Structure 1
Amino acid sequence: MFKRLLFLTASLIPVAAQAQDTADREESADTITVTANGLATDIANTGQAVTIIDRAEIDSIQGADPVRILRRAPGLSISRTGPVGAQTSIFVRGAANEQLLVLIDGVRVADTAAPSGGYDFGTLLASGVGKFDLLRGSNSTIWGSDAVGGVLDISTRGRTGIEGSVEYGARDTVTTGATGGVAGDSYFAGLNANWFRTDGFSAAANGTERDGFEQFSLGGSAFLDVTPTLEMFVNGRYATGDLDIDGFPAPAFALADTAETQETEQYSGAVGFNYYGQDLTLRGSYSLSDTERENFDRAVSDLPSFASDGRSDRLSLRGEYRLIGGLVIAAGAEHEWTSYETSFDTRAEAEITGAYTQFGWVLGGLAAHVGGRIDDHDRFGTEASFGGDLSYALGSDWRLRASVGEGFKAPTLFQLFSDFGNTALQPERSTSYDIGLERGSRREGLHLAATAFRRDSEDLIAFVSCFGSTAPLCNDRPFGTYDNVARARSQGFEFEAGADVLPGLRLSGVATVLDAEDRISGFDLARRPDYFATLFADYTTGFGLALGADLRLVGDSFDDAANTVGLDGYEVFDLRAAYDVTERYQLFGRIENLFDADYQTAAGYATAGRGAFVGVRARM
């Protein structure tokens, strides 16, 4: 039973071990990753760069904004066009937001109707998250398309017993959440619900009208032991949100206050089985993800000014077989159907089939993996991906790790079939390398890590103008089209450190030095700072009081590809506190942006000033 619970905890299904039936299931597996090879793996047995942030740490940071949590992972820089809920992009080691494969409970959740096909982190609230499992580096060998910059698996909350929280603060912001479940020797069923509302602030830095955001989300999961070796599972998530946005009204066509809003509805889920034999583990599933958006301009009409609907359906089978000693072979196959339609584009579809094999060997302190994958897309044909990694224990809790991986991203349906589309597009491709030295783990004792990385990307898809062009590609696309014309290189260093300097006091930090370059123009990639870091301190007393502080440091960058619009660096400081009134009740609060720093992560768009928040949490 425990083996299955641990596997599910790490890989998709929110389950808690029976010995921990009042604890969040994600707190029991903070060293287990699924992003490295698609199945539950101890983080020490992979040479890839992985960061895990569990629910205990999420609770300590507080708040519904996932950006405040994800900035604790090295290699991540962030851009947002307004308040919480606005378009939010995450750049992993300089890769574009759409080059990060995002999974929620193992289900791909990218918006297939979006022009770039990425996931908008503005639609995610941390109050419903149980764990973030982030792999930094290309890994299409295991994951197929989109895993160019990395892979982020987000587990929704799940626990036995009941927990609820409510928080109120600046800008009339309310966050509520509840999660609970029941479990027996052969079953688990759980639900979580979250509601968030804020008046926000004007997304346009020169605006005065507040842009608010409201979202409700509901998630659930269940499993049942059919036999001692066969388990059935199901999970699902639904979210609906309403966001006020600013636009570019006539006659100036400059960013300013508008009456525009965007309504988003998302649902995703999976159903399948897990088989646990003596030497063989199998996981099979069917999953789906759908994102519907409608934009309104109430000053003009109550009818949508734009609507889109993107969907993906996927069949997947993964397995692992222990051959002899520490030798393991993992293999899998997937088939995905994607579709989209918009107010201006008729429905279009594409399919992709992929299969991979990976050999792994664990012997004492040595762990190594090497594998390959073939994908076949019904538009551009086949694509091969290879990868490998090595982890070696040096003694005294030090570990050397290294990895090389290839990634690819299939052209989006919009890039292929819209009025600007080009059906001759090829996939974007990347090769990444990293090598690092690490001591200990990030949440306890002395932790030190340094990683050097590099990623070369080619055949990147960019929009090209057809104004005045006589190129054949522009014959029926007078305004422009998409083509594989760009190349990029990102390289740099990541640093991590943490230490228990006094009883109850832990100091930690992550930092990244980044050089992200367009290899055609030689300019810096837009919105990629040359350095960024987060320093954080946590102090726990012996009488239930916990104090914390977070300092975010970000260097200069450019907002545009031509490097003509600069974004100044900035520093943001947060303070937080929590007090356990009893074993079941906790009061917590924080002050974000204590010194009221004025900064931008996207030119022309405002960011939040100083804000205070207070809340209460109850556990039964």
Structure 2
Amino acid sequence: NETTLWTFGLDHMAEETATASADINSAYAEVAFAASDKLDLTGSLRYDDHSDLGGQATGRLAAAYRFSDDVILRAQAATGYKPPSLFQSTTNAANSTVALAPEENTTFELGLEKAYGEAGFVRATAFYNDLENHLIYEGTCSTPTNLITPGYCYAQSNFKSKGLELSGAYALNDTWELTGAYTYTDAYRPTGRAGRVPRHDLHIGVSGDFANGFAGGLGVNYVADRFDRDNGSTPMPDFKTVNAHVSYQFNDSTQAYLRVENLFDEDYEAVNGFNTSDRALYFGVRASF
């Protein structure tokens, strides 16, 4: 009706390899309720029945409250569930004595958004994430069973993160818009700080729609304070990259674009020992019918 929307359904997924198979049968439902002209509430529930691992229920509660037309407070709490894939479980069965358990996750978010008419907005969101039994790739198994040489497998470890996200956009004039986003993340495991999660991630960009169908923009991404491995054993250098794009709109359905990633050919690594792309150019045409 005018205030309530129900969504519900059933889901079936089947996996099969040469040596194993698994099915997941699921049921889910969600209700979105406009409690008033200021308050919206959402609740959802899902139940997954795994043929090998049994059943698991997860859910989500969310609310949005409008203090005024331009100020909105949002909050949510949710749980998640992800069983290991057949590839992961059969790999461990062959290379390790460790049996894998499903990943289970709990998250909380609280955010506030302020709009400035059509000119722009600012948004702040605090988050907390608690992930149990997080699957981690291991290049060498610590407990091989039937291999002459230890092979690769998967281990599991708890992972927690908390932090703050800030974002915003502002129209400088009729042509140019300035955007920005910053995330501070404190991620850790029981043994110390988590690897490959930067503590600071900043993006600033400017984009514009010009006359005669042309548009373009420039963005700078800066990543700082990160480690390649857990426990801070391999510090990684900070880096910044610049990306640019330009497009031309032929008509309502056809557009040509040119995108340049890593414009100034920054030499950096996201994972220690693995190269990332040098300057790269992409050209394409999009069409809709």
TM-score range, shorter chain: 0.7 to 0.9
Q: Which runs of structure 2 are paired with 1:571-586 in the superposition (5 Å)?
A: 571-579=240-248
- TM-score, structure 1 as length reference: 0.41
Q: Which of 21, 27, 31 is the matching residue for 1:355?
A: 27
| Matched position secondary structure for 2:232 | coil
1:492 CA displacement: 0.7
Q: Report whether the alignment pairs 1:501 with 2:172.
A: yes
1:546-561 to structure 2, matched below 5 A, reads 546-561=215-230
Q: Tell me, in whole angstroms, the C-alpha distance in 2 between the residues paired with 1:456 and 1:504.
A: 43
The structure, 1 or 2, with the larger RCO (C-alpha pairs under 8 Å, 6+ apart) is 1
Q: Check conservation: 1:376, 1:382, Cα contact below 8 A.
A: yes
Give 1:539's aligned amino acid.
G
Corresponding position of 2:53 = 380
Counterpart of 1:339 in structure 2 is 16
Do residues 328 (structure 1) and 1 (structure 2) align?
no
Once the two structures are superposed, residues 226-245 of structure 1 have per-residue CA deviations (whole angstroms, 9 ceiling, x without a partner) of: xxxxxxxxxxxxxxxxxxxx
Offset, 1:388? 0.6
State the partner residue of 1:431: 106
Q: Do the aligned partners of 2:103 and 2:131 also contact (CA within 8 Å) in 1?
A: yes
1:559 touches 1:566 (CA, 8 Å); kept in 2? yes
Cα 1:353–1:423 change in 2 (3 A) is farther
TM superposition shift of 1:483? 7.7
Instruction: Name the CA distance, whole Å, in 2 between partners of 1:606 and 1:582.
Output: 39
Q: Which residue of 2 aligns with 1:488?
A: 159
Instruction: Indicate yes or no: 2:84 matched with 1:393.
Output: no
Among candidates 43, 47, 51, match of residue 370 of structure 1: 43
- Aligned equivalents of 2:97, 2:212: Cα separation in 1: 64
Distance in 2 (CA, whole Å) between partners of 1:613 and 1:461 is: 34
CA distance in 1, matches of 2:286, 2:154: 51
Which amino acid counterpart does residue 553 of structure 1 have in structure 2? Y
Distance 1:459 1:589, change over 3 A: closer
Distance change in 2, residues 1:405/1:484 (3 Å): farther
Residues in 1 aligned to 2:172 and 2:42: alpha-carbon distance in whole angstroms: 36
The question of 1:454 aligning with 2:128 is answered yes
Q: What is the distance in 2 between the residues matched to 1:461 and 1:399? A: 36
SS where residue 502 of structure 1 aligns? coil
Give the counterpart of 2:181 among 506, 510, 515.
510
Matches within 5 A, 1:554-569: 554-569=223-238
Distance in 2 separating the partners of 1:500 and 1:397: 16
Structure 2 residue aligned with 1:600, among 269, 274, 280? 269
- Indicate the SS of the match to 1:589: strand
CA deviation vs aligned residue, 1:369-404 (integer Å, no higher than 9, x gap): 123222211111111212210011221322111111
CA distance in 1, matches of 2:281, 2:100: 49
What SS does structure 1 have at the residue aligned with 2:95? coil
Write out per-residue CA displacement over residues 388-442 of structure 1, whole angstroms, 9 at most, x where no aligned residue. Answer: 100112213221111110011102213333313668532111100001012349x
Inter-CA distance 531–458: structure 2 relative to 1 (3 Å threshold):
same
Q: Is the 8 A contact 2:62 2:76 kept in 1?
A: yes
1:578–1:587 contact (8 Å) kept in structure 2 = yes
Between stretches 552-561 and 607-616, larger displacement belongs to 607-616
User: For 1:462-513, what per-residue CA distance to the aligned partner results, in whole angstroms no more than 9, with x for missing partners?
Assistant: 555126xxxxxx6x67848968751110111111110111121111112211
Query: Using the alignment, how far apart are the partners of 1:527 and 1:385 within structure 2?
Result: 28
Matches within 5 A, 1:34-49: none
| Equivalent-residue separation in structure 1 for 2:262 and 2:86 (angstroms) | 40
Assess if the C-alpha contact under 8 Å between 1:554 and 1:569 holds in 2. yes
TM-score, normalised with respect to structure 2: 0.84
CA gap of 1:585–1:403, structure 2 versus 1, over 3 A, is closer
> Which AA in structure 2 matches 1:492?
G
Aligned counterparts of 2:177 and 2:168: Cα–Cα separation in 1: 10
**Counterpart amino acid of residue 521 in structure 1:** T
Following the alignment from structure 2 to structure 1, what is the Cα–Cα distance between the partners of residues 135 and 279? 39
The residue type equivalent to 1:439 in the other structure is: K
Cα distance in 1, alignment partners of residues 180 and 106 from structure 2: 28
Distance 1:513 1:529 in 2: 8
Q: For residues 445 and 379 of structure 1, do their structure 2 counterparts lie closer, same or farther at Cα, with a shift above 3 Å needed?
A: same
> Any residues of structure 2 matched to 1:310-325 within 5 Å, and which?
322=1
Contact 2:219 2:242 in 1 (8 A): yes
CA distance in 1 between counterparts of 2:253 and 2:12 reads 46
1:466–1:480: 8 Å Cα contact kept in structure 2? no
What residue ranges of structure 1 are gaps of 5+ in the alignment?
1-321, 341-345, 468-473
Aligned pair partner of 1:610 in 259, 279, 283: 279
CA 1:569–1:361: 2 relative to 1, 3 Å: same
Q: State the alpha-carbon separation in 1 of the partners of residues 30 and 250 from structure 2.
A: 50
- 1:350/1:507 CA distance change after superposition, 3 Å: same
Residues 575 and 348 of structure 1: CA distance in aligned 2, closer, same or farther (over 3 Å): same
Higher strand share: 2
CA distance in 1, matches of 2:230, 2:247: 43
1:353–1:577 CA distance, 2 compared to 1 (3 A): closer
Instruction: Tell me how far apart the structure 2 counterparts of residues 451 and 417 of structure 1 sit (CA, whole Å).
Output: 39
1:570 maps to 239
Aligned amino acid, residue 561 of structure 1: D
Letter in 2 for 1:487: N
Report the AA paired with residue 512 of structure 1.
Answer: T
Q: 1:569 to 1:423 in 2, by over 3 A?
A: closer
Please give the secondary structure, in 2, of the residue aligned with 1:415: helix
What is the aligned residue count? 281
Contact 1:422 1:481 in 2 (8 A): no
